Amino acid sequence: MTAPGLFITLEGGDGSGKTTQASLLRDWLESEERIVVRTREPGGTEVGVLIRDIVLHHRGEVSPRAEALLYAADRAHHIATVVRPALERGEVVIQDRYLDSSVAYQGAGRVLGRDEIRDLSLWATEGLLPDLTVLLDLDPATARARLDAADKPFDRLEAERDEFHARVRAEYLVLAAAEPERFLVLDASLPADEIAEAVRARVTALLAL
């Protein structure tokens, strides 16, 4: 079902270094003459930017199921209008966060149930799964210290307690163990260039297939 391109997602807690790794991977792939689309969820489209504002910055309550549906709506539109077309053109899509974020944050963090949340995302995307998911694994205390050092105001999810982030982390590791052929799990406390090298090795193998 996957189109000729390559769909790579980056996952991990807030402060795990996904943005840095996405940039390093894009720079390397472009130096190898690949066409790369770098994108993210939530907020990879105009509609998504509006949804992102609600899920991350709305000041009042957003009920857990409404939150899950907002992420799913963002994803449905993003995959249909940005990601699938790029994959069909044979391009490499590097995406910050995808359905595993929903399973970890809404499924485990908000305790909505992993199977329902996964099914919701698969319905939203007509079953699109990444070719590779890089999980940047970091303990919540180190992640929190990084976010504090960055000195930016916390969004709704970042402001959750460490116990929430511990559940998110544990769920990510369960997901990775269940699909070892899709996931590459890396220790996010390692230097960025070491992590980038491990990602490049895995992507090189995929591109050679």
Residues near ligand TYD (CB under 6 A): 14, 40-42, 56, 71, 96-97, 101-102, 105-106, 155, 157-158
For ligand TYD, give the closer residue by CB, 155 or 163: 155
| CB closer to ligand TYD out of 40 and 167 | 40
Closest CB 160 distance from ligand TYD, rounded Å:
8
| CB of 4 vs ligand TYD, minimal distance in Å | 25
CB of 32 or CB of 179, closer to ligand TYD: 179
For residues 155 and 162, which CB has a smaller minimum distance to ligand TYD in the complex?
155
Max CA pair span of the chain: 49
- Name the minimum Å distance from CB 83 to ligand TYD: 13
CA–CA separation, 6 vs 78, rounded Å?
A: 16
How far from 86 is each of 90, 95, 159, CA to CA, in Å? 7, 12, 34
For residue 27, give Cα distances in angstroms to 5, 38, 55, 117: 17, 10, 30, 33
Minimum gap (Å) between residue 45 Cβ and ligand TYD: 13
Q: Which residues are within 8 A (CB) of 137 and not within 5 positions of it... i.e. 6 or more apart?
A: 12, 16, 169, 172, 173, 185, 186, 187, 188
Cβ distance to ligand TYD smaller for residue 84 or 167: 167
Q: How far is the CB of 15 from ligand TYD (least distance, A)?
A: 8
